[in-house]
Amino acid sequence: MSRFAMIGRRLAQAIPSIIGIIVVTFLLTRALPGDPAVYFAGPAADEKSIAEIRAALGLDKSLFEQFWLYLGDLARGDLGVSISTGRPVLEELATRLPASLELTLVALIFAIGTALPLGILAATRPNSWVDHLCRVVVTAGVSLPVFFTGLFFVYTFYFLLDVVPSPLGRLDIFYIAPDHMTGFYLIDSLIVGDLDTFGASFAQIVLPAITMGVFVLAPLARMTRASMLQALGSDYIRTAQASGLSRSKVLFSYAFRNALLPILTTLGMVFSFMLGANVLVEKVFAWPGIGSYAVNALVVSDFAAVQGFVLSMAILFVLVNLAIDVLYTIVDPRVGIEG
Amino acid sequence: MAVAEHPDSAGESAAAAWWRHFRYVVSENPVTLFAFILFAMFVVMAVFGPWIVPYDPLASDTANALQPPTWAHWFGTDNLGRDVFSRVVVATRLDFLIAFSAVALSFVIGSVLGCLSGYYGGWTDRVVGRSIDTIMAFPLFVLAMGIVAALGNTVENIVYATAIINLPFYTRVARAEVNVRRNAGFVDAAKLAGNSDTRLLVFHLYPNILPPMMVQISLNLGWAILNAAGLSFIGLGVRPPAPEWGIMVAEGATFIVSGEWWLALFPGAALMLAVFCFNLLGDGLRDLIDPQRRT
């Protein structure tokens, strides 16, 4: 089977997941407590106006009809209107998404940049201090509640050492947000060449990103170490070494390239963790992303907002998994030869 | 080990043999012993917590608010003058109750679903498999948030949400383990002896899949505690003033920036220690009940 056919089949496999996600999010919101019609109508409303609003929202129809309407809304990109802010949910999510993505990506870069060297060093020097360090990081990393590490960092680096600005949002109030291009402050400020703003937003993102990075470091480092050990112990490495190839060539071209595949698979799980951790980290650092939006919506039972959040996170997760699998077929040269 | 255990174990009772094996595993790996001691300590705190603490966890004493740790108040006092140490100890029960009931629930439902789909295959397998895949298609913490929001903001619903997001792991383990044994010789023999499908599943297949399920449980408990605490940290489930680690960290968070670290540090450390304990225990339990190691 050709590589394109493989990718096509993988794309088709994502469809049932997406259908499942839509059904589940629909069912979840229908079970939300409170009557949205009463909420919309306000405290002064009588029976008649509540019934009118209920009809306007489509809440008087059968569950099946409501689901049909919901599908139609989704197809038009209409996620409903947030009860608490009165703005369309899609618009709010779209304005807040770059903040969350920026945080997640910086955290991911930090985690990969730390976990891969750590895992490789630990695998090449078993029982050395690097190996022990790796073991400690792996064991401690999975036990640390992400909101707790965040607070601990705030206390140490903000209160005691005073090396970072106050942990409130993406930018100190003395700075003006850079013009909206990508929505990533780090990139936008560089594009316009405003190094001051770049520095300020970098100072703000360091702590939350490291907090989140530490959380996902453990599975990545463990997988890197394990798969590097396995790769280094295999026959083709012995052959490569016997052929007199240089150490770095053996390590990176042969061992690491093969070890990369299981690491890529772990990335899917890592993303599931990160999207969840996002919510907690954003709350700790008052980060204006979609996670803190969802937390605020949850508190006031804002059903459209919660539904939109869960739906968009799930779709994002499906897309990430899809991208990882496609990347996998590209990285692995054996795919497309065997079939 | 093989020499020591086999020939003379015929004479001793099963309990004595188990105890000997337990001592062996623990002496081989002191970390496991540490985990068991830690676990015992948490159990004591959960069971006897309210009777052993020096102060009432809910009694406020505004004259003594926000005091740093002293001999009278080991972990200091919070913004209402409540003793943080007493609150941390008493909170153990609620946290463990949530985690244990959630894991028990997903263990029971997961093993039933997994056994059925592994044993019968076909449509049962497809329906169960699809539902599990749908759960796994969500980022799990986000799904738990959605479920708690939908069902209502109560402690029971935290338990249900945690159980649902843990369900896939148990179902998959049970399904895989039953599937590989479905056509084993002892199953055929039991079938020929006239056992019904139910009897076969319950008495012949199920005991065999228990060891891998037990390991899954202990690895899962730590994660369940983390999830439940995370949910209450963002304001779902447990309501103040009830002592619970997640909500105590959330309440202490506002005081971190002004330097009152003890409010959030101690409940957070207790939470961390509990998760750490379950993770170590999982590894230890694997050594203890892994049949391969026993021979």
pLDDT of B9 reads: 45
For A14, which residue in chain B has the nearest alpha carbon? B137
The answer to whether A327 and A264 are in contact (CB under 8 A) is yes
Would you place residue B4 in the very low, low, confident or very high pLDDT band (cuts 50, 70, 90)?
A: very low
pLDDT of B12 reads: 65
For residue B145, list chain A residues with Cβ-Cβ distance below 8 A. Answer: 279, 294, 298, 306, 310
Of A288, A321, A304, the residue nearest A102 (C-alpha): A288
pLDDT of B107 reads: 92
Query: How far is the CA of A282 from the CAs of A205, A291, A295, in angstroms?
Result: 11, 6, 9
Chain A interface mutation, best of B42, B126, B135, B143, highest count of A Cβ atoms under 10 Å: B143
Of B141, B120, B140, B117, the residue nearest B130 (C-alpha): B117
Question: Which pLDDT tens digit goes with each residue over B182-227?
Answer: 888 888 888 888 888 888 888 888 888 887 787 778 778 888 888 8
pLDDT of B1 reads: 36
Instruction: Find how far residue B66's CA is from the centre of its chain.
Output: 33
Query: How far is the CA of A281 from the CAs of A70, A275, A285, B233, B274, in angstroms?
Result: 31, 10, 6, 11, 21
The pair of structure tokens assigned to B199 is 């009897």
Of A130, A112, A128, the residue nearest A218 (C-alpha): A112
For residue B132, list chain A residues with Cβ-Cβ distance below 8 A. Answer: none
Is the pLDDT reported for residue A193 higher than 60?
A: yes
Is the pLDDT reported for residue A218 higher than 90?
A: no
Backbone angles phi, psi at B196, to 5 degrees: -75, 165
Per DSSP, B7 falls in state G
CB interface of B with A, residues 105-124, below 8 Å: none
Is the pLDDT reported for residue A74 higher than 90?
A: no
Q: Highest mean pLDDT range out of A51-55, A81-85, A192-196, B37-41?
A: B37-41
Question: Which pLDDT tens digit goes with each residue over B246-280?
Answer: 888 888 888 877 777 787 888 888 898 888 888 88
The answer to whether A283 and A292 are in contact (CB under 8 A) is yes
3-class DSSP assignment, residue A81: strand
Half-sphere exposure of A72 (CA within 13 A, CB side): 7
Q: What percent of chain A has pLDDT over 90?
A: 3
Question: Which pLDDT tens digit goes with each residue over B101-117?
Answer: 999 999 999 999 998 88
Q: Smallest Cβ distance to A313: which of B142, B150, B152? A: B142
Is the pLDDT reported for residue A146 higher than 60?
A: yes
Q: What average pLDDT does the structure give for chain A?
A: 81
For residue A140, list chain B residues with Cβ-Cβ distance below 8 A. Answer: 276
- B54: contact with A, CB 8 A cutoff: no
The answer to whether B161 and B148 are in contact (CB under 8 A) is yes
Chain A interface mutation, best of B32, B42, B138, highest count of A Cβ atoms under 10 Å: B138
Q: Distance (Å, rounded) from C-alpha B220 to C-alpha B99?
A: 9
State the ipTM, two decimals: 0.82
pLDDT of B3 reads: 42
pLDDT of B129 reads: 87
Q: Smallest Cβ distance to A298: which of B149, B256, B280? A: B149
For residue B236, list chain A residues with Cβ-Cβ distance below 8 A. Answer: 298
Q: How many helices (H) and strands (E) does chain A have?
A: 14, 0
Total count of residues recorded for chain B? 295
- B275: contact with A, CB 8 A cutoff: yes
Q: What average pLDDT does the structure give for chain B?
A: 81
pLDDT of A261 reads: 83
For residue A145, give the amino acid letter. Answer: P
Do B233 and A280 count as a contact with CB atoms less than 8 A apart? yes
Q: Smallest Cβ distance to A145: which of B150, B230, B235? A: B230
* Mean pLDDT (whole number) for A297-326: 84
Model-wide pTM > 0.95:
no
Is the pLDDT reported for residue B38 higher than 60?
A: yes
pLDDT of B104 reads: 92
Is the pLDDT reported for residue A288 higher than 70?
A: yes
The lowest-confidence range among A276-280, B71-75, B158-162 is B71-75
pLDDT of A339 reads: 39
Do B140 and A272 count as a contact with CB atoms less than 8 A apart? yes
The answer to whether B231 and B145 are in contact (CB under 8 A) is yes
Query: How far is the CA of B30 from the CAs of A4, A261, B24, in angstroms?
Result: 53, 35, 11
Instruction: Find how far residue B52's CA is from the centre of its chain.
Output: 24
Q: Distance (Å, rounded) from C-alpha B165 to C-alpha B167?
A: 6
Closest-CA distance of chain B to residue A254, Å: 32
Do A313 and B147 count as a contact with CB atoms less than 8 A apart? no
